[in-house]
Each structure stands twice: as structure tokens, then as C-alpha cells.
Amino acid sequence: MWAFIHKLGSPKWFYAISARLEPWFWALAAVLIVAGTVWGLAFAPADYQQGNSFRIIYIHVPAAFLAQSVFISMAAAGLVFMVWKIKIADMAAKVMAPFGAAMTFVALFSGAVWGVPTWGTWWMWDARLTSMLILLFLYLGVIALRGAFASRDGGARAASVLAMVGVINIPIIKYSVDWWYTLHQPATFSVTSRPAMPVDMWLPLLVMVLGFYSFFIALTLMRTRSEILRREFRKRWVRELFQEAR
Amino acid sequence: MLRSRGEVINPLVFFALVITLFPIGISPDPDLLQRIAPGLLWVAALLAALLSLDSLFRGDFDDGSLEQLLLAPQPLAALALAKVAVHWLLTGLPLSLMAPVLGVMLSLPAGSYGVLALSLALGSATLSLIGAIGAALTVGLARGGVLLSLLVLPLYIPVLIFGAGAVQAAIMGDGAGAHLAILGALLATSLALAPWAVAAALRISLNG
């Protein structure tokens, strides 16, 4: 097991292993997302209160899940990079950041679209919404900080520190729902009250969530591999790889 | 920081100026001002503290004494904590002492001045600690000022929520104890963790 993890830290091994894993995750993501979309949009029953508008949930909730998990994975990768100096971890952290920012934006945007029919407003200074906006700013900060450094290693380590500091904010963000002093607390759709939903409503949601996670893994593998090629193009194994292909 | 007086005075003047803008820009109506005063005072104080952050390590970086701090036999985290403590004494503490005066101008009710000053004193110490991480990360960059606010402001938001919440609770007569306790907890957490992050960030900024 440890030998396997050590091998993963080597760009060459990671490139080879992820090349084998990547198609499976793409296939899994495609199957789950297509199945979840069709199931959720066409077959799941309409909500008794919100009608068909609740179907935004099938995009909104997976995106919101990913927005938070990607930040945590990014911080974990940053920690691995800082402690064990494993280059792959930093490459993964680098390619995760824009995807996490995009997912946060998707969650915010779909939430705003959903807000119009249910709350009658595009935006509300609700704790959940505000905290997601903060998360977006955190992502943008990490991306901007990495870009601001002239040296790649400096930017990598600075972004790792910021991601690790920022991850402390995630539980604060999560529990801000209970702390925020605003009097208006609009009813937010709570995932913890899953049994309150009928099975044929939350099962497609589960499929979508798993599909989004597979998509995240597949995309991270793919972009990490291209990042490996970009950084290691002078190494002999990369040259040999492309000479074989030619 | 004491060597340049302006850097001590500037945040205070900025704080007073920003607060002056609101009654002119929104409305001089005392009832309205009283309602929004906790948030205004806290946001303005937070921005004033942010303004002073960029100079926290900048001077030492420019004249090379930051490198001497890195080479010193004392742990870098302890030195960073000392710098942050000085920063708080010269910006956070004066800001919190000045806030009640501005509170009078915003017709804040009399009973809340103590809570306002206390919440700002506790909160601004946390702001200095968190801000020092951002300042240390950006000190090596030529134009780090705007980036610094992008990095630091999202992390300031919990402090802002409980700081303004404490003053709000004092006005409502609910008792601000719980909010102040959480501000204290945030301070204790950042006191324990931030110096290490600042030290790591300084090493990154100086070594590339």
C-alpha cells in the first residue's frame, strides 16, 4: 500500500496509472450524469409546493457539494505538497482551483435562478448564499495569489498556505446559518432532511451527486496529466513517450 | 511602525473620514443612523485595519531586516507574533478607543459604547493576526496591495459578523456576552495558529 502511494508521487507513475483510470471515471460520470438528468428532469415527481421548479436541485446541490469538497481537497493537496514536497499534489491543487471556483459559481447561479420562483427574489443576504459567495472569493484569492508569484514554486507554496488557512473558514461558513443575526431566514432546502423527500425524488439526486464527483475526478486526472507534461517536458520519459507515439 | 508616525495616524483619520461619509451619503436621520451604526462602525474599522496591513512587513522587507529576522535564533513564529502585537497596539487598539466617539456622532445609544470598544478590541486583534498571514504572503510581490484585500477580506467575515452582532445585541438589550465570547474564541484560535502560518508565509515570500 505505502509503496503504491510512493509510486503515485512520481509523475511518471501517476501519468501511467491515471491514464488507465481516467476513461473509467469519464464513462462513470457520463452514465451517471445522463441517467440522473433524464431521471430527475423527466421522471421524478413534481414537488407538491414548488411544482417543476424544484428540479434545479439536480444541478444545484451537486454543484454546492463539489464547491466545498473541492476546496477541502485542494487544501489537503496543499498540505501534502508542503509536508512531503510531492509535486503531483501541487499540480492537482492547481488544476482543482478553477474547477472549484466554477462549481461555486454554478451553485450560486442556479441558486439565484431557483430563488426567483420560490422566494421571489434573485438574491437574499441569507447565510448560505453569503457564505457561498465568500467561498467564491476564497477560490479567486487562491488562484490570484498563485498567479502573482514570478516563481512557480513560490506561487505553489503560497497558494497551499492560503488554501490551508482558508479551509478553517469552511466549518465557520457551514455553521454561519445558525449564527447569522438576520431576522429573515428563508427556508433553505436541507439535504440532512433527506427522509422527508420521497425516494424517487432523492435517488436521482444521489445519482447526480455521484456523477458530478466522478466528473470531478476524471477532470482532475486529465488536467493533472496535462500539467505533468507541461512541467516535465524536458524529462526523458516524456520525450520517449512522445517518440513512441510518433 | 513607530518610526513613521503617518502610518499610525492614517488609519484613524481614514476611519473618521469614512464614518463621516455615511451620514452625508445616506441620510443624517438619527434613527436610521442608529440602526446601521454597528455595521458601519465595524466595516469602517475593518477597512482601516486592512489599510495599515500592507506596511506590516513591507518596510522590513525593503531594507532587508526581514531576512535578519529569518536568520535570528529565535523562532520566526514568535517574532511574527511580536510584530502582530505591535501592529494591534498601534492600529487596532486606537481604532477601538476611537469608535465610541464616532458612535456618539452616529447617535448610538449610550449603553453600547463599552461593548463597541470591547468587541473592536477583541476583533481587531484577530484581524491583525489573520491579516498578517495575507501581508506575509504578498510582501514579496511588487503590487500586493489589492491582492492582499482579496486574500484577507473573505477571512475577516466571521469576525465582522460577531463583532457587529455584539454591538447589535447590546443595543437590543439582549446582552452581548455570547458574541463577545465567540470573538474571544476566534482570537484564541488565531493566536494559536496564525503565527505559524505567518512564519511559513514569510519563508515562502523570501525564498521565492
pLDDT at A187: 41
pLDDT at B195: 94
For B54-144, where are the alpha helices, taking DSSP H only?
55-63, 65-71, 76-87, 93-105, 113-138
Contact B127, B46 (CB under 8 A): yes
DSSP-assigned letter for residue A86: -
- Cβ contacts (< 8 Å) between A181 and chain B: which residues? 161, 164-165, 168-169
How far from the centroid of its chain's Cα atoms is residue B54's Cα? 12
**Secondary element (H or E) of residue A244:** helix A236-245
Interface test with A, best of B76, B159, B204, B205 (most A CBs within 10 A): B204
* Number of CB pairs, chain A paired with chain B, less than 8 A apart: 75
Q: Please name which of A164, A169, A7, A166 lies closest in space to residue A78, comparing C-alpha atoms.
A: A164
Distance CA B119, CA B140 (A): 33
CA torsion angle for B22, B25, B29, B31 (degrees, to 10)? -40
Q: Give the SS3 label for residue A57.
A: helix
Model-level pTM?
0.84
Residue A182 has pLDDT above 80, yes or no: no
Convert the pLDDT of each residue in B7-35 to its tens digit: 778 889 999 999 999 889 888 888 888 88
The answer to whether B208 contacts A168, with C-beta atoms less than 8 Å apart, is no
How far from the centroid of its chain's Cα atoms is residue A67's Cα? 5
Distance from CA of A167 to the nearest CA of B (A): 10
pLDDT at B1: 53
The answer to whether A148 contacts B182, with C-beta atoms less than 8 Å apart, is no
pLDDT at A184: 38
- Cβ contacts (< 8 Å) between B153 and chain A: which residues? 137
Q: In chain A, which residue's Cα lies nearest the Cα of B138?
A: A145
Distance from CA of A162 to the nearest CA of B (A): 8
Of A148, A161, A164, the CB nearest to B141: A148
Average pLDDT, chain A: 82
Share of chain B above pLDDT 90, in %: 42
Residue B96 has pLDDT above 70, yes or no: yes
The answer to whether A179 contacts B161, with C-beta atoms less than 8 Å apart, is yes
